[in-house]
Amino acid sequence: MAGCELSPEQIEKAVDFHGHWCPGLAIGLRAGEYVLNHMGRAEDEELVALVETDMCAVDAIQVLTGCTFGKGNLIYKDHGKLAFTFYRRADGKGVRLVFDAQRLGSPDSEFTELTQKWLKGQIGPEQEARLMRMREERTKDIMGSPLDELFSVKEPDVSMPRSARILTSLVCEECGESIMESRTRRLAGRTLCIPCFQAQG
Ligand SMILES: [Zn+2]
Ligand SMILES: [Zn+2]
């Protein structure tokens, strides 16, 4: 088993959607590839993804697996981990893929240091060129390595999230805007939206 077996069209679609080609997108592509191989695609919300990062990788996952934020079958937990759990509704099968971020660079590596400078806009042209080369190397490594080398494959550590989203709307008694019932707050006998509730607090 070698590297990525996705078609050039699949990869191109993800790059188009995301806006650029980067190591994070490559991680998402490979996670998506694993899911397509083992669980199929979410034509009809049959797959649910639970992602523990909000970075680049998630865009590739949305394009490849059909689990999208808007459909409600992409759930985000802010854990800061490159961990992606997928569930198949039909039989409840689930898998948790964990990418080792150290593969990109340990916390004290030059790559990490340059990336931080770059994100803060404090990088010179030479260092930037060097960083771009390093990013390309990492992207190549991720695309060219076997899946079982990239991800630890684990059992999901939580059971499949509930599917139905409650669509009943109530009206906020402060601003008059409609809100999903499950997001309303009660304050002194009034029904409020979260921003108004927070403004009163
Ligand atoms: Zn990116
Ligand atoms: Zn309000």
Cα 182 to Cα 2, 9, 14, 62, 169: the distances in Å are 46, 40, 33, 25, 9
Give the model's pLDDT for residue 122.
94
77-102 per-position pLDDT tens digit: 999 999 999 999 888 889 999 998 88
Compute the distance from residue 136 Cα to the ligand 1 centre, in Å. Answer: 12
Ligand having the closest approach to the CA of 198: 2
Q: What is the CATH number of domain 169-200?
A: 3.30.60
Task: Tell me: pLDDT of 162 over 80.
Answer: no
Cα distance between residue 49 and residue 25, in whole Å: 16
Query: Burial of 127 by CB count in 10 Å (0-12 exposed, 13-18 middle, 19+ buried)?
Result: middle
Using the mean position of ligand 1's atoms as its centre, give its distance from the Cα of residue 55 in Å.
7
Contact between 147 and 167 (Cβ < 8 Å)? no
CATH fold, domain 8-154, is 60s Ribosomal Protein L30; Chain: A; (3.30.1330)
Ligand having the closest approach to the CA of 177: 2
For residue 57, the CA-to-ligand 1 centroid distance in Å is: 7
Asked if 160 and 48 touch (Cβ cutoff 8 Å), the reply is yes
Residues 179-192 have pLDDT tens digits of 988 889 999 999 99
Domain locations along the chain: 8-154, 169-200
Q: Please determine, for residue 166, whether its predicted confidence score (pLDDT) is greater than 60.
A: no
Q: Which DSSP string do the residues of 57-117 spell out, in sequence order?
A: HHHHHHHHH---TTTT-EEE------EEEEEETTT--EEEEEE-GGGT--TTSHHHHHHHH
195 Cα: distance to centroid of ligand 1 (angstroms): 31
DSSP letters for 103-154: GT--TTSHHHHHHHHHHTT---HHHHHHHHHHHHHHHHHHHHS-HHHHEEEE
CA 131, 133, 104 angle in degrees (round to 5)?
70
> What is the Å distance from ligand 1's center to 96 Cα?
22
pLDDT of residue 141: 95
| pLDDT tens readout for residues 30-83 | 999 999 999 877 665 589 999 999 999 999 999 999 999 888 899 999 999 999
Q: How many other C-beta atoms lie within 10 A of the C-beta of residue 181?
A: 11
pLDDT at 90: 85
> If you measure from the C-alpha of residue 23 to the centroid of ligand 1, how many angstroms do you get, rounded to a whole number?
7
Taking 70 as the threshold, does the pLDDT of residue 1 lie above it? Answer: no
**What pLDDT was estimated at residue 95?**
95
Q: Measure the CA–CA gap between 45 and 106, rounded to whole angstroms.
A: 37
**How many A from CA of 164 to the centre of ligand 2?**
24
Q: pLDDT (tens digit, 9 = 90+) per residue, 104-126?
A: 888 889 999 999 999 999 999 99
**How many angstroms separate the alpha carbon of residue 168 from the centre of ligand 2?**
16
Confidence of residue 164 (pLDDT cuts 50, 70, 90): low
